[in-house]
Structure 1
Amino acid sequence: MAEAWKRHDPQLAEPMMKRALAGDITPALLDVGEGRIAAMDDAGIDTAVLSLTTPGLQNLPAAEAVALQVAVNDGLAAAIRRHPGRLQGFATLATPAPAAAADELRRAITELGFSGTLVNAHSGGRALDADEFWDIYEAAEDLGAPVYLHPRAPVPSVTDAYYRRFGEPVDSMLATGTFGWHYDAGLTVLRMIIAGVFDRFPGLQLILGHWGEVVLFYLDRVAAMDSLVTLRRPIADYFRTNIFITPGGIASHKYLRWSRETVGAERIMYASDYPFNRERAGSARAFLDTATSNTAERELVAYRNWEKLVAGIRRDGARDRTVRG
């Protein structure tokens, strides 16, 4: 993957590629073995769900992306086999070729034993609500496999208009991990809802990091659109039935309280965002232990919600269903 990124973007213009390949974080990203297990032990994390970092395969030509998705997923599966019980995986998909991506998702779930897939908020400049990507959502729903929607840097025209002026590294961080990509990913989720993705695939389960990518905090305002769109339910309802929320490395009890009040503890799952956020010794368990005195809620967030979600995956293939009109 590193070589493919460099071939297509030798200057590493996409901010997260530069950070992943030319920064001090590279060794930790590449370590899917003993070093990662040791970091998990130090933080108090029993199980990590691994995924390829943004932008994944979504900035590559379709043919190359299709070839690489198999290699990436096979490599991740091998790492998981070396550490059973400690590591799980999200499939990497060639979103520039959605039909092939859907087929690979089926293989990753039924043959490799993965726990879902991770996709980044746009592919080839196209937001993931576009009809061309619905093959992926259909496969995910059929398999009962969750889709983690991860941010990626906004398209260049947006980045140039909103996130340039201050020089590096400020421009890149403004466009990505501190502000820009959260709004971009939150808008992607809203577009998916408004486009009818969850009405067409009511069993689809999406995971949003960083406490819901900003949009969770604006649902009361977003409700003004309910009378303007043709959906089966109010927009906010989809966040309580089809979307799970994780901290994505933002260890904020204040955001946890808001999220719990907005969607309920049954829709929140702990996530650390390693290695972009380096956990301090015992920090994962400390965050949860001090979050609430309610043991049942703490267990839901720590592991029960995830275990219930993964238990619903159909690893023997898609369920029987009627053909959708």
Structure 2
Amino acid sequence: MRLIAIEEHFLTREIHARWMALGLDAIDPSVALHSGVIERRLLDLAGERLALMDESGVDVQVLSLTTPALHDLGLESVDLARRTNDGVAEAVARHPDRFQAFATLPVAQPDAAAEELERCVGTLGFKGTMLSGRVGTRNLDHPDLAPILASAAALGVPILLHPRMPPAGVREAYYSGLAPQLDAALASFGLGWHYDAGIQFVRLVLSGTFDRLPGLQVILGHWGEMVLFYAERLAALDRVAGLARPVADYLRRNLYVTASGMGLPHYLERAAGYVGTDRLLFSQDYPYQYRPGTDARRFVERCGLDDAGQAAFAHGNWERLTGKREG
């Protein structure tokens, strides 16, 4: 069974240097997570990565630039995104049976980002793009960012909506006062990241984005970034949202959900109950959630789905979403 992991991250030395030059390590505590073994594995697009893929039973990784990506950069991000995408395309070309890619976009320059997405999909063969939540003070539903969403919809490619650190005011209000290291962990991978990403998706729904772009497909990691577990409460917004369809319809028609290394069958069952088994995707969240011992493949084989459901989860749903048909 071919196993395609769709939320697998990388980093380049050039981008890391830009983060440091901007002082992002002081503004965004999650930047400090990209050090030591994690940094080494993020930077590697060859030997160790391939070896650990083999060890965990993953056949293909879909590569995406780790958060906070280029969301805090200005005009310089246009050329930087292009160089990054060209470099990743070279890695895919060296290992076409092992790597696919999401486009890195200069999101602070939305028109240029839309053009770069078109180049990445049309020329480089990338499968979509990953966005890391807010761009500066703008949520993803802000009208300024509409060209990026429209480009993805027109190209028929998905957007992986990845978490990022909540803004400073939110961190101060909800994720501070314990201890510096604990504050940062709680605001990021402990909880804050996931609320932030889930809210971005909910805002896309409530702003009418999917009414304007009904074909747009968004992927949420970590079994839906909290959204699916509160779907019943979100349905109450139908009374005031003024949308073309009930909120529940957007979950079934515009959302795919991936595991992000959270190998919990009851989470899978809950997600499938809302979006359907045809909208479940596999991911390991490498290198953050990498675990040895063929952990990835073992989860798929024991997740509770029948053989057809396992194959769809492992690769079929992704291949259908990205337009690849089996021969």
Q: Please report the TM-score for the alignment, with normalisation by the length of structure 1.
A: 0.93
**Deviation of 1:10 (Å):** 6.2
Is 1:142 matched up with 2:150? no
| Structure 2 stretches lacking a partner, 5+ long | 1-14
Aligned to 1:119: 131
Provide the C-alpha distance between the structure 2 equivalents of 1:11 and 1:280, rounded to a whole number of angstroms: 30
Alpha-carbon spacing, 1:10–1:105, altered in 2? closer, same or farther (3 Å): closer
Match of 1:270 among 273, 279, 282: 282
Provide the C-alpha distance between the structure 2 equivalents of 1:125 and 1:293, rounded to a whole number of angstroms: 41
Instruction: State the secondary structure of the residue aligned to 2:37.
Output: coil
Match of 2:56 among 43, 52, 59: 43
AA partner of residue 2 (structure 1): H
Aligned to 2:5: none
Is 1:14 matched up with 2:32? no
**Deviation of 1:125 (Å):** 2.0
**Deviation of 1:293 (Å):** 5.0
Query: What is the percentage of aligned positions where both structures have the same residue?
Result: 42
Q: Which has the higher contact order (CA 8 A, sep 6+)?
A: 2
Provide the C-alpha distance between the structure 1 equivalents of 2:146 and 2:65, rounded to a whole number of angstroms: 21
**Deviation of 1:254 (Å):** 1.2
Aligned to 1:290: 302
Give CA-to-partner distance per residue, 1:129-165, whole Å, 9 cap, x none: 1111110111111111110000100011111111111
4+ runs deviating over 6 angstroms? none
Aligned to 2:88: 76
Give CA-to-partner distance per residue, 1:186-241, whole Å, 9 cap, x none: 11111000111111111111110000000111010111110101111111111111
**Deviation of 1:13 (Å):** 3.4
Instruction: State the secondary structure of the residue aligned to 2:27.
Output: coil
Cα contact 2:58–2:296 (8 A) shared by 1? yes
Is 1:34 matched up with 2:27? no
Provide the C-alpha distance between the structure 1 equivalents of 2:33 and 2:256, rounded to a whole number of angstroms: 27
Aligned to 2:17: 3
Provide the C-alpha distance between the structure 1 equivalents of 2:316 and 2:45, rounded to a whole number of angstroms: 24
Is 1:60 matched up with 2:73? yes
Cα contact 1:144–1:312 (8 A) shared by 2? no
Alpha-carbon spacing, 1:224–1:66, altered in 2? closer, same or farther (3 Å): same
Instruction: State the secondary structure of the residue aligned to 1:189.
Output: helix
Aligned to 1:300: 312
Give CA-to-partner distance per residue, 1:15-44, whole Å, 9 cap, x none: 221111x34310000001111111111000
Provide the C-alpha distance between the structure 2 equivalents of 1:71 and 1:293, rounded to a whole number of angstroms: 41
Aligned to 2:11: none
Provide the C-alpha distance between the structure 2 equivalents of 1:110 and 1:140, rounded to a whole number of angstroms: 12
Give CA-to-partner distance per residue, 1:153-190, whole Å, 9 cap, x none: 00111111111112232111100111011111111111
Instruction: State the secondary structure of the residue aligned to 2:157.
Output: coil
Provide the C-alpha distance between the structure 1 equivalents of 2:158 and 2:78, rounded to a whole number of angstroms: 21
Give CA-to-partner distance per residue, 1:98-123, whole Å, 9 cap, x none: 01000000000011110100001101
The answer to which of 168-177 and 86-95 deviates more is: 168-177
Match of 1:176 among 188, 207, 219: 188
Alpha-carbon spacing, 1:37–1:161, altered in 2? closer, same or farther (3 Å): same
**Deviation of 1:312 (Å):** 6.5
**Deviation of 1:88 (Å):** 0.4
Aligned to 1:246: 258
Structure 1 segment 207-222 matched on structure 2, within 5 A? 207-222=219-234
**Deviation of 1:57 (Å):** 0.2
Match of 1:201 among 213, 223, 228: 213
Provide the C-alpha distance between the structure 2 equivalents of 1:225 and 1:131, rounded to a whole number of angstroms: 22
Provide the C-alpha distance between the structure 1 equivalents of 2:25 and 2:146, rounded to a whole number of angstroms: 33
| Structure 1 stretches lacking a partner, 5+ long | 314-325
Instruction: State the secondary structure of the residue aligned to 1:148.
Output: strand
Q: Please report the TM-score for the alignment, with normalisation by the length of structure 2.
A: 0.93
What is the CA RMSD across the aligned residues, in angstroms? 1.3
